Amino acid sequence: MIDVMSPNSLGPLFWVDMMAILFLMAQVLFVMAVSLFAISAIDDVLFDLYFWVRRCVLKIRGQVREDETFPQDLLSKPEKHIAIMLPAWQEAGILQSSVARILSTLNYKKYYVFIGTYPNDEETQREADMLARRFPKVQKVVTQLPGPTCKADCLNAVIARIDEFAQENSIDFSAYILQDAEDIVHPLSLKLFNHYLGGYDLIQIPVFSLPRRLFDLTGGHYMDEFAEVHSKDVKARQYLSGVVPGAGVGTAYSKKVIAFARENGEIFNTSSLTEDYEFSFRLSSAGFKMIFARIKVPRELLGQQDYEIIATRELFPNTFWAAVRQKTRWIIGISLQGWESLGWSGSWRIKCLYWRDRKMLFFSHAIVAGFLATFIFLGFWLYHSTSPEGYRMAPLLHEESLFWYVVYFNLTILVHRIVQRLWWTNVCYGWKALLMVIPRYAWGALINYLATVRAIKIFLLHRITGTTIGWDKTTHDYPDQELEIVDDMSPTADQNAVIGVPRNS
């Protein structure tokens, strides 16, 4: 008896049917991907246009941006007392170098560094004790709960100790600065915070990746992303809504902000993995003023030539899955926990920001759909190339299909996105960093998609089973002496070792 379901018994007809099914699947995936890309791209284009039109109007009118200032204003303003908060869980390997560098380079006098440690992290405590004995400006803080809890819990403990220290020493801290142990803190950053205190209650400066080697796709994609986001996107958010989402580092909170948060319960939300993001929206609803201060200063103030941006710089992960884990944490905190705690309350301008932060949960899947459709059609192309007499499929879309206009729109937007990325990468790192921007763009899209899928999975598991979402902390690197020299913009830096350095805008 012949098995009619056997591929061998059906012969060519079976494979024709399979190809037809694959072709139909590819068409569906293609239409879905193109449609999702187009919908997602609309607000991206409007957002970019809003930023550039706003900047052009200011220039045409001859108006000065609110974040423009003269270097002498930064240097001459009387210093207020400032507390720097450094949460440190398992940071023993970099803590000595990091804090010593901060203390040796900051152009400021009235500040103290408070290192938040955990009772079950003896190595980090030991390093913090050594620093406290060596430098009078360093204070060690130990949390009540063993780690890792979350960054918010550590920060709340640090703030409590800062208040105690202020009472014991009759010091009135005007600002609380949020930094991480792996940060390269700019020498003039406290001068900048000090300058804007009084007029603003949240001051955020840019965060940039330190330069990575040319073919380091994972570490390098952070260069491009942060160059664009912390040059354009965050500023556009401030223009649109007045909200400046905290970046986790390089953020200053006024004492009024801390007092307000204390009166309304815990200062930072310990149920969030991105406590600074949620905090910004809470402050906005209470009417506090915020500014994203992207200031460039003459390097002659630092004994160099040209200009540079006052920013926090650090080495982001340069291994694939470490980057996926880090971005998983960001997506859970911003897109999922932010949705859960903040909802969709606020003005339409605030809702626009929510939409931009949460749309990836839906539209990022278009990337996979597009790739699958592409691979299927590549397979058909190879088949047709090697078997000219074989079964031929219909064209993907009819030549007169109006859907081609959507395809052309997406291609135009893709070019626009790449041009934007190239522009801001060049602004922050120079032309040598442009050579791998397009490969890094594609590599970063893959990282972001996997992080989105992982974030959704972890959050759904949490909602269904009640499983606690743990603090999947990233293990950080701290730049060696060679990279510090490059970050210092030395003209003798080895440009063959590292591609590009943050420079003037």
14 — pLDDT class (breaks 50, 70, 90): low
Average pLDDT rounded to a whole number, residues 63-69: 76
Flag whether 2 is in a domain. no
Write down the pLDDT at residue 303. 57
Q: Torsions phi, psi of 242, nearest 5?
A: 85, 0
Over 80: is that where the pLDDT of 479 sits? Answer: no
Q: Which residues pair with 241 in a beta bridge?
A: none
3-state DSSP call for residue 86?
Answer: strand
Say how far apart CA 505 and CA 426 lie, in whole Å. Answer: 9
Write down the pLDDT at residue 378. 75
Over 50: is that where the pLDDT of 497 sits? Answer: no
Over 50: is that where the pLDDT of 494 sits? Answer: no
Over 70: is that where the pLDDT of 1 sits? Answer: no
In the chain the first and final C-alpha atoms are separated, in Å, by 78
Q: What is the domain-level CATH number for residue 159?
A: 3.90.550.10
Query: What's the mean per-residue pLDDT of the chain?
Result: 85
Flag whether 161 is in a domain. yes
Say how far apart CA 57 and CA 239 lie, in whole Å. Answer: 13
Flag whether 314 is in a domain. yes
Average pLDDT rounded to a whole number, residues 402-424: 91
Write down the pLDDT at residue 395. 66
Flag whether 236 is in a domain. yes
Which tens digits make up the pLDDT trace of 253-294? 999 999 999 988 889 988 888 889 999 999 999 999 999 999
Structure tokens that stand for 435 in this block: 């050579």
Write down the pLDDT at residue 147. 81
Enumerate residues 6+ apart whose C-beta is below 8 A from 253.
Answer: 175, 176, 177, 178, 201, 202
User: Regarding predicted confidence, which is higher, 93 or 155?
Assistant: 155
Write down the pLDDT at residue 487. 36
What distance lies between CA 416 and its chain's CA centroid?
21
Which tens digits make up the pLDDT trace of 175-188? 999 999 889 999 99
Structure tokens that stand for 17 in this block: 């049917």
Range of the structural domain that residue 432 is part of:
29-393+413-505
Flag whether 16 is in a domain. no
Q: Tell me the longest C-alpha to C-alpha distance in the chain.
A: 97
Contact between residue 361 and residue 456 where contact means Cβ atoms under 8 Å apart: yes
Flag whether 407 is in a domain. no
Average pLDDT rounded to a whole number, residues 441-458: 94
Q: Prior bond to 395 cis, omega within 30?
A: no
Write down the pLDDT at residue 222. 96
Flag whether 18 is in a domain. no
Which tens digits make up the pLDDT trace of 134-145? 999 999 999 998
Number of domains in the chain: 1
DSSP calls for 141-180: EE-SSPSP--HHHHHHHHHHHHHHHHHHHT--EEEEEE--
Write down the pLDDT at residue 369. 81
Flag whether 442 is in a domain. yes
Over 80: is that where the pLDDT of 300 sits? Answer: no
